[in-house]
Structure 1
Amino acid sequence: MYGQASPFAPRNYRPSNMYSRVGLETEVHGASAHRLIGMLFDGLFDAMAQAQGALASGNRELKARALSRAVRIIDEGLKASLNKEHGGELAVQLTELYSYCCLRLTQANLRDDVSLLLEVRGLLLPVREAWGAIAPQVDNAPAAAA
């Protein structure tokens, strides 16, 4: 039975996934708030790449799952984490950008349109890169300032 999925396990369950999941959970528990947002961006770009590959291969089920995951990461992760009370104009602009990206990813799913995926990737890549660029500043900031 080792190496085989249980008949009671989810359809896409693989025993090797358990090790990846434990590693991810360990990383999440020890991560700073800044690193958690970076992980959301990583997951988002992975989901969009998976959706693009699924579109290319004609796997509509995988495409739908990946795009649904991408929309949830944006909406329930990135957008929900914005501090609208203290974030000022930047928080407002990011909220609008994230809403637009969710709309375009939903349209990409409905239309099987890879160009919409590429549009969202192009819009969010600079945000992801900027977030990564401030990591050294956040990591070196005194605890009281963070």
Structure 2
Amino acid sequence: MADLVSYGNANRDIDQAIIALKEGAQLLKYGRKGKPKFCPFRLSTDESTLIWISSSERSLKLASVTRIVPGQRTAVFQRYLRPEKDYLSFSLTYNNGKRSLDLICKDKVEAQVWIAGLKALISSGRGGRSKIDGWSDGGLYVDARKEYLFG
């Protein structure tokens, strides 16, 4: 995939990120029980649901996600903390913040693609309000209509 960090057309970058999410990737999933394991993740064709295979097919409706939390800040991550992978990690909190889907990507570009794509889908239809918690300088800049990734 082309480098997502481009200043020319933010909408095209988001479209490319969503296409990549539909194609899917192997992400390291942390769970409440057992050790982290690699699972195939993909976005549903209607862009409303994140689907993965663990012991069976599982899914999470993006409408139920309350926040995207970058890094390893949830209780689930704290059990098997990997500080060297913090910049590749993110959590989707749902059920009013009581539950989280905790994931680690293989590299920085994959992490940027997944976070940007999910952020765009989750914030759409909600006034462009950012649900990324804890992001500051050098992370993601949100401007009501446009989103830019800074490397």
Q: So what's the TM-score if we normalise by structure 1?
A: 0.27
* Structure 1 or 2: more helix by fraction: 1
Name which one, 1 or 2, has greater alpha-carbon Rg. Answer: 1
- Larger strand share, 1 or 2: 2
TM-score, reference length from structure 2 = 0.26
**Greater relative contact order (Cα 8 A, min sep 6): structure 1 or 2?**
2
